[in-house]
């Protein structure tokens, strides 16, 4: 006949609960940072694709689209020639902002060229830059990288 008790003591349960709480807290912080990074990357890629569509429209219609940066709330990029606000980009996530636009970028339908410039998309976790070259190329890069200067 066995008289040993089965189960866990209160002290063992408390130690396990503390370990689980510490691991959960650090995982939640890591998850939040990762999610913010994904929001920033997604917004930068959507801006990149928006600019490619704008370039294609300028080429297709043989017209020009000069970009205008509006610094309200999150910031927005719109085409100067757009009367109906069809060509307007606003970051889809509330924690992402369009902070600056250098130069006076725009796309011209004639020979598919562009006026160079760059647009910075930022959030609490970093920054991405979309660069428009004079040849009409659009590229996406991190400003802290040497190739993005």
Between CA 98 and CA 73 the distance in angstroms is 9
Tell whether the torsion through CA atoms of 100, 102, 103 and 105 is positive or negative.
Answer: negative
Domain, as residue range, for 107: 10-148
Residue 65 in any domain: the answer is yes
Per-residue pLDDT for 1 more than 60?
Answer: no
Residue 2 in any domain: the answer is no
Domain CATH for 110:
3.55.40.10
Residue 47 in any domain: the answer is yes
Q: In which residue are the tokens 């598919």 written? A: 112
Per-residue pLDDT, 73: 81
State the CB neighbour count (10 A cutoff) for residue 123.
Answer: 21
Question: To the nearest whole percent, how much of the chain has pLDDT over 70?
Answer: 94
Contacts (Cβ under 8 Å, ≥6 apart) of 129: 118, 119, 120, 121, 140, 141, 142, 143, 148
Per-residue pLDDT for 41 more than 70?
Answer: yes
Per-residue pLDDT, 3: 62
Range 75-114 burial, b when 16+ CB lie within 10 A, else e? bbbbbeeeeeeebebbbebeebbbeebeeebbbbbeeebb
pTM attached to this predicted model: 0.80
Number of domains in the chain: 1
Per-residue pLDDT, 85: 65
pLDDT bracket for residue 130 (50, 70, 90): very high
Whether residue 111 contacts residue 88, with contact meaning beta carbons closer than 8 Å, is answered with no
Per-residue pLDDT for 114 more than 60?
Answer: yes
């Amino acid at each position: 006949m066995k008289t040993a008790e089965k189960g866990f003591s209160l002290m063992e349960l408390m130690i396990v609960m503390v370990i689980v709480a510490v691991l959960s807290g650090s995982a939640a912080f890591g998850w939040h940072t990762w999610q913010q990074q994904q929001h920033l990357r997604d917004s930068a890629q959507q801006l990149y694709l928006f600019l490619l569509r704008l370039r294609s429209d300028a080429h297709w219609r043989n017209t020009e689209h000069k970009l205008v940066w509006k610094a309200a709330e999150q910031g927005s990029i719109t085409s100067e020639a757009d009367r109906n606000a069809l060509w307007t980009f606003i970051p889809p996530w509330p924690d992402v902002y369009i902070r600056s636009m250098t130069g006076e970028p725009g796309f011209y339908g004639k020979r598919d060229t562009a006026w160079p410039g760059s647009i910075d998309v930022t959030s609490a976790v970093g920054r991405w830059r979309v660069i428009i070259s004079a040849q009409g190329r659009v590229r996406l890069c991190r400003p802290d990288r040497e190739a993005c200067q």
